[in-house]
Homo-oligomer: A and B are copies of this chain.
Amino acid sequence: MKVALIGGTGETGSIIVNALLESDIPALKIIAIVRPASERKPDVVALEKRGVAVAVVDLEGPRAELVDVLEGADVLISTIHVSALGSQIPLADAAKAAGVKRFVPCFFATVAPAKGVLTLRQLKEEALLHAKKIRLPYTVIDVGWWYQLSIPRLPSGRIDSATPLPVNFIAGDGNTPSALTDVRDVGRFTARIIADPRTINKMVFVYGDIVSQNQIFDMLDEMSGETTKREYANAIEKSAFDNRMKIFYEYWYSMGVRGDNTLENAEFLGYVDGTKLYPDFQPITFEAFLKEVLDGKSVAIYRTLEQNVAKAER
């Protein structure tokens, strides 16, 4: 199986590469498509050392070059950077011309309606709409919110290094259930889904656990022996639109206030429940993740995130 990947050095993309390399997919060949500007970056060189072929192409450049690279690919996965979501249109056109058998556009987030709630979701939908227009077979993968972006810091400061973007506020009343996944499982789920004929032309929803924010705080307090301050952000809707972090807070409004990120809503919106497709798959539980964090064993995979957020706030 030949898998082409856009964004292979990003947060989600690198997790998917790891999972693919560890998977039992037979005769797997991974091609990371990178921009000319990134060709010599250490992350790209590291991918090559791990056996990933690297193809340097400009998604907005001549289509023939992109078609050449995609020729013979069974799957094209996009975990493209937010700022380049629009490039998925020429990417999809090239994939269609190359006969790619499955396009996985950049979703990998929470369950939410296509329009009117999440700015990012709305942007991501454009690639799906285009795939449907040109009849390019697709699979949408949504994974809920990540464990790693769901926990507050403790008063003692002992888990600060594991919380690059701490969540010390509670959206809504804190009792709304929300589907969460350990970011490492995003890769493992994706490796299953892209090799599965049942998921062609479907939206698939996977998750590791379904918990409310109050449950998260309770669990953390109990396991740590500390008492985390809970700031109820009932006005999150209004504040979101005054805030430069609007696209980030929209997710918390959607999850915590609207309650969009649930299995029930996923089914209403037409998703397939991916956890039922793979009953043998044992996702990391939220409790197991919390234990790792408290034991100082979690890997802080969001080193760059803090910097990006700081940049966005400026």
Oligomer: number of copies: 2
Does A265 sit within 8 A of B, measured CB to CB?
yes
Q: Give 9 pairs: A residue, B residue, CB < 8 Å, sorted on A.
A: A114-B129, A114-B132, A115-B129, A115-B132, A115-B133, A116-B130, A135-B268, A201-B268, A201-B270
Contacts of A137 in B (CB 8 A): 268
Contact B129 A265 (CB under 8 A): no
Q: Which of B113, B115, B133, B265 contacts A113 (CB 8 A)?
A: B133
Q: Which of B116, B117, B135, B265 contacts A265 (CB 8 A)?
A: B135
Shortest A148–chain B CB gap in Å is 28
Interface residues on chain A, size class: 10 to 19
Q: Tell me the complex Cα distance, A287–B153, Å.
A: 72
Q: Tell me the complex Cα distance, A117–B130, Å.
A: 10
Does A46 sit within 8 A of B, measured CB to CB?
no
Shortest A28–chain B CB gap in Å is 27
Does A219 sit within 8 A of B, measured CB to CB?
no
Name the interface residues of A97-154: CB closer than 8 Å to any CB of B: 113-117, 129-130, 132-133, 135, 137
The residue on B at minimum CB distance from A138 is B268
Contacts of A129 in B (CB 8 A): 113-116
Does A269 sit within 8 A of B, measured CB to CB?
yes
Contacts of A116 in B (CB 8 A): 129-130, 133
Q: Tell me the complex Cα distance, A135–B268, Å.
A: 8
The residue on B at minimum CB distance from A132 is B113
Contacts of A135 in B (CB 8 A): 265, 268
Contacts of A265 in B (CB 8 A): 135
Shortest A177–chain B CB gap in Å is 15
Shortest A112–chain B CB gap in Å is 9
